[in-house]
Structure 1
């Protein structure tokens, strides 16, 4: 069986994508999207793939609108989020707690990094997210989501607007420009992890509902291939126990619901079906 597949270039997917790990029963036909998140929209809107990497917030939103996808317990990208928030130091010092009533740019209001950072700002620093003027540059992957943010002028770039003083801060970006500094100071990331014991998940893997319903053995094979590929790069791949994955999913579900991206908090087990829930 040939499966339409979207997977980015990660240490944990390298062995699959370079062909060093293969299957006798299935072939993964890899789609070429760069950056990988450009493929999330066709997966959500058109079910373009049988197997797809997926930002976890995109998946939560897609599930809330009944999109026919099922989560696999496979993390392909996870990282600390604090470094992906910048402000323009040439305009004065800005702290996380000082973001109220500021102009903050973000590629799309529904990015997973944005949801993590907003959750951290609101829950750990007391920021009133509703007081912020959110400036966005792209729409959501899920077409049904009603985006009420202000769209940046056509052709403008997010970091450029921060440098020019048209934004007070941006989320989801890094830059080596001398005027741009991290919003979170050194040590805050470590103290956050020590407090919460959560590694933020960015991307996992989903499969189509049809594949799960009709070909459970194929789904098991896909899962095993992903596991084998991750084991090929154990020091660089995200290593999640079932409990660590659950803690991270519980937190991003809570943040996503708090921010109005989904109508209610899912229970973690709801993200999987009867088959994928049993995969280990």
Structure 2
């Protein structure tokens, strides 16, 4: 650390791709990252989008889109923090019945929050790939949106505080639930979408879409006043990712063009589900972040 380094107040958890940043292995003579103390990082999302409390950091892509649509002073960097295919993230209890996408009409499906990014991806896939009428499902949720000025649709119901999605699946109070990375190794739980990994592979081969989860954003005043700092942040993120030693298929590609189809799709899904109004991919960036590659 030197006296000339610019402090950047940052919301960013430690993942494989950010570990080298968090432990100081990747550093810069231009800036130093001062990390906000939120564990997990999504506890800081509300402060980020409502108060612009951080100069830079991670947000769930749907949270960012909703905030941007409502005028939050944030711009996207083409530097995904996390991404994964989502077809496997909705489960049901096979002890009760067989449940396929075409069987979801009239059912109760649990999801942490209606605006949760995993939920938006999965609902979009169900609607656009399997013809599910999202309005004909009761979505049982437990948290509200991170952004202000958002009203949930009338087919959203609130679960009781402290309830667990897995337990509700097993006791029959939910027909299906979005579990994602919280899917337990339980033989009773099966995925609503059959052969989800093959389905995701075929979907990607047809669409070129890699579902993003968390993305990196900066406050627009930082980008306007110090574009050199924003470019340096991008370099540091890129270097930290390279040090993670990732192998195989890259679910976090860098660059605007590499993410354009994905961003077009999540914008489309978010509009279909009433989360945002009209929005174009290029509006998510400014002249500085759009030029990063």
Contact 1:137 1:158 (C-alpha < 8 Å) held by counterparts: no
Contact 2:79 2:255 (C-alpha < 8 Å) held by counterparts: no
Q: TM-score, normalised by structure 1?
A: 0.95
Q: CA deviation at 1:93?
A: 0.2
Contact 1:110 1:140 (C-alpha < 8 Å) held by counterparts: yes
Q: Aligned ranges for residues 1-280 of structure 1 at < 5 Å?
A: 1-148=6-153, 149-173=156-180, 174-186=183-195, 187-235=198-246, 238-240=252-254, 242-264=256-278, 266-280=279-293
Change (3 A) 1:240 1:23: closer
CA RMSD of aligned residues (A): 1.4
For residue 91 of structure 1, give the secondary structure of its aligned residue in structure 2. coil
Q: TM-score, normalised by structure 2?
A: 0.91
Deviates more, 1:157-166 or 1:230-239: 230-239
Q: CA deviation at 1:126?
A: 0.2
Q: Distance in 2 between matches of 1:185 and 1:151?
A: 28
Q: Distance in 1 between matches of 2:34 and 2:142?
A: 31
Q: Distance in 2 between matches of 1:86 and 1:201?
A: 20
Unpaired runs of at least 5, structure 1: none
Change (3 A) 1:96 1:240: farther
Contact 1:6 1:53 (C-alpha < 8 Å) held by counterparts: yes
Deviations 1:214-265 (A, max 9, x none): 111111111111111112124256234543311111111111111101022x
Q: CA deviation at 1:36?
A: 1.9
Q: Distance in 2 between matches of 1:196 and 1:217?
A: 35
Q: Distance in 1 between matches of 2:206 and 2:172?
A: 34
Contact 2:10 2:57 (C-alpha < 8 Å) held by counterparts: yes
Contact 1:114 1:172 (C-alpha < 8 Å) held by counterparts: no
For residue 177 of structure 1, give the secondary structure of its aligned residue in structure 2. coil
- Equivalent residue pairs, number: 279
Q: Distance in 1 between matches of 2:51 and 2:208?
A: 36
Q: Distance in 2 between matches of 1:76 and 1:156?
A: 29
Contact 1:198 1:244 (C-alpha < 8 Å) held by counterparts: no
Deviations 1:126-174 (A, max 9, x none): 0000000011011111122112321101221222111110110011431
Unpaired runs of at least 5, structure 2: 1-5
